């Protein structure tokens, strides 16, 4: 057990200078802006990431854009669930969340048809630009219409 503890202490000492070099960002600092602004910004970042995918970039840049898109879209999705739960009464949360999920499923069914039409007319790059424009437009709409909680 003491040998294992010595190894763990050695690894901690090796990692300490690297840990201090990284900036510390706490989730509480991000949420301090509020859930709605954070969701708006993450949706905007997701839209910009979609547009970047349409550009002829090196593979590593595409990977960075896809990682940023996945993180920001995941954050926006999680925040949308939280906002819906906060906006509704306890007795209506199930119904409200069901409506949110139903609209997602309808979009997941309808969007491939629209995407196929856009890709046939404007190529795959045009498809990513169109999706980016739709996401950025949704983010811009979120700037002007904030729900009353």
CB-based contacts of 81: which residues, under 8 Å, 6+ apart? 97, 100
Could you tell me if 147 and 36 are in contact, meaning their C-beta atoms sit under 8 angstroms apart?
yes
- Determine what percent of the chain is predicted with pLDDT higher than 70: 82
13-22, 28-37, 114-123: segment of lowest average pLDDT: 13-22
CB-based contacts of 66: which residues, under 8 Å, 6+ apart? 49, 53
Q: Could you read off the pLDDT of 97-113 as tens digits, one per residue?
A: 889 889 989 988 998 88
Q: How confident is the model at residue 1 (pLDDT cuts 50, 70, 90)?
A: low
End-to-end CA distance of the chain: 54
Q: Encoding tokens for residue 131? A: 């999706």
- Greater pLDDT, 20 or 4: 4
User: What number of other Cβ atoms are within 10 A of residue 13's Cβ?
Assistant: 9
Predicted TM-score of the model (pTM): 0.69
Helix and strand element counts for the chain (H, E): 5, 0
| Cα separation, 14 vs 3, whole angstroms | 17
- Give residue 47's pLDDT: 93
């Amino acid at each position: 057990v003491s040998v294992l503890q010595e190894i763990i202490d050695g690894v901690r000492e090796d990692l300490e200078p690297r840990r201090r070099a990284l900036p510390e960002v706490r989730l509480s600092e991000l949420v301090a802006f509020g859930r709605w602004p954070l969701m708006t910004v993450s949706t905007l970042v997701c839209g910009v990431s979609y547009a970047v995918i349409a550009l002829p970039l090196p593979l590593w840049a595409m990977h960075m854009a896809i990682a940023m898109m996945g993180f920001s879209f995941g954050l926006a999705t999680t925040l949308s669930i939280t906002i819906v739960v906060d906006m509704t009464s306890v007795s209506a949360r199930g119904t409200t969340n069901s409506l949110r999920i139903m609209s997602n499923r309808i979009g997941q069914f309808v969007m491939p048809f629209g995407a196929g039409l856009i890709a046939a007319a404007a190529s795959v790059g045009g498809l990513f630009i169109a999706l980016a424009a739709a996401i950025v437009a949704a983010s811009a709409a979120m700037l002007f219409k904030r729900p009353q909680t």
